[in-house]
Amino acid sequence: MPTIVLRHVTKRYGDGDPENTTGMEKLITSSARIFDHRHAQKQEMREPSNRPHAVNDLSLTIRDGETLSIIGPSGCGKTTLLKIIAGLLKPTSGDVFYDSRAISDIPMAERGIGMVFQNYALYPHMQAWENIGFYDIIRKQPEKIPERIKYIIRIMGVELEHLLSRKPPTLSGGEQQRVAVARCLARDPQIFLFDEPLSNLDAKLRVETRAQINRLLHYYKITAIYVTHDQTEAIAISDRIAIMRAGKIEQIGTFHALYDTPKNAFVAQFFGNPPMNLFAGHIWDDVWEGRGFTVQPIRPGLRQGQAVWLGIRPEHITIVPADGIPATIDHIEAILTHRQQLLYTNIAGQTCVVSVDLDQLVARGDTINLEFNTQNLYLFDKDTGARIG
């Protein structure tokens, strides 16, 4: 399976360069297209005009056989990056390599890419079996389709037979998603690319389909890139996770690395559900002083008066009988699957989320005392956002 390497890739929109896109070529074949070139141009024009760099000098290596998830806020460049890796978009500058070979030197039919799109991109006028077997149809080998479908059903572990004679408009979202994944597998891909494939499914189907995709990725052991908004999906499916912001990758690593050792305040507050609490304040000796409360002791060696964000995860805050930080409970959210409840509290006008056991007796409007575990504090420079220590 190929190792994918990106070197200093930049993609700018709005420069009017007609060579800046290859069009939305269909990944399952070199001769078919999912959308025509005009559609691809419309897609680019929909990119926010105030964000000229969808991808900004980005370098990245996706290892042979690993699954990398890419997450980040809307508009950060996730889907654009995926299209560049697939060869659907030409970068404004920089290079993409499959096993040291430039992607531009590899014909589309030889790239071995299987892709599942957010909207599934099925041909509405074709029956499901034709969509799945399209690659064999254009290769003039339709006799291979029945055996290939049997193989795909066995690998996916789901029933598809009752869908094969139906056309996409008559299928539910979950059924279309299964057909789209089956079509992806029908190419015997060397690379899997997923662009938010579960975003149109309900909660129950998301869980079921996530398990199916996870099984496929472990079965094939091929290089895969998974773009999603859902951190739970990313954690469940991937070997590593990359967090993007404004066209750049802020940090890449395992779930534990991102959660326990965030590189900066953005990663700390973006990754985790609920996110890390952050409070603005200053350093005086071994004391962090914020609005309405102080925390001590903190790590030594910081500059007097230095502006610092103090961060702490909700699970590292406890309720104490007295002599704590006074906070008022504004809202309570029960997390039944974890036997926990989230307390959304107010500390001097600042929101602080606290995670406590479900049997903790609290009510909206209560005033409680909080204690921050000083062994689990994070400090970030307020000017740069970089983690201190």
The pLDDT value given to residue 155: 73
Query: Which residue in the block uniquely carries the two structure tokens 């039919």?
Result: 109
CA dist., res. 5 & res. 301, Å (int): 40
List phi, psi (to 5°) of 147.
-65, -40
pLDDT bin (cut points 50, 70, 90) of residue 3 is very high
List phi, psi (to 5°) of 148.
-65, -40
Domains of the chain: 4-260 (3.40.50.300), 265-381 (2.40.50.140)
Give mean pLDDT, residues 268-293: 94
Per-residue pLDDT for 23 more than 50?
Answer: no
- pTM value? 0.84
Beta-carbon neighbour count of residue 87 at 10 Å? 19
pLDDT bin (cut points 50, 70, 90) of residue 21 is very low
Tokens of 65: 């056989």
CA dist., res. 156 & res. 222, Å (int): 15
Beta-carbon neighbour count of residue 347 at 10 Å? 18
Per-residue pLDDT for 265 more than 90?
Answer: yes
Residue 32 DSSP one-character state: -
The pLDDT value given to residue 42: 33
List phi, psi (to 5°) of 130.
-70, -40
Residue type for position 359: D
Residue among 158, 270, 281 nearest 216 (CA): 158
The pLDDT value given to residue 272: 93
Tens-digit pLDDT profile for residues 132-181 = 888 778 778 888 888 888 878 777 767 788 888 899 899 888 888 888 88
Distant-in-sequence, close-in-space partners of 25: CB < 8 Å, separation ≥ 6:
33, 34, 87, 88, 108
CA dist., res. 330 & res. 351, Å (int): 9
Per-residue pLDDT for 231 more than 60?
Answer: yes
CA dist., res. 171 & res. 179, Å (int): 10
Tokens of 282: 């200053």
Average the pLDDT over each of 214-223, 230-239, 366-375 and give the range with the smallest value: 214-223
CA dist., res. 115 & res. 194, Å (int): 6
How many Cα atoms are found within 13 Å in the side-chain-facing hemisphere of 141? Answer: 8
Per-residue pLDDT for 314 more than 60?
Answer: yes
What average pLDDT does the structure give for the chain?
A: 85
**Quick check: helix, strand or coil at residue 18?**
helix
Give mean pLDDT, residues 26-55: 42
Contact indicator for 233, 217 with CB cutoff of 8 Å:
no
Tens-digit pLDDT profile for residues 342-359 = 999 999 999 999 999 999
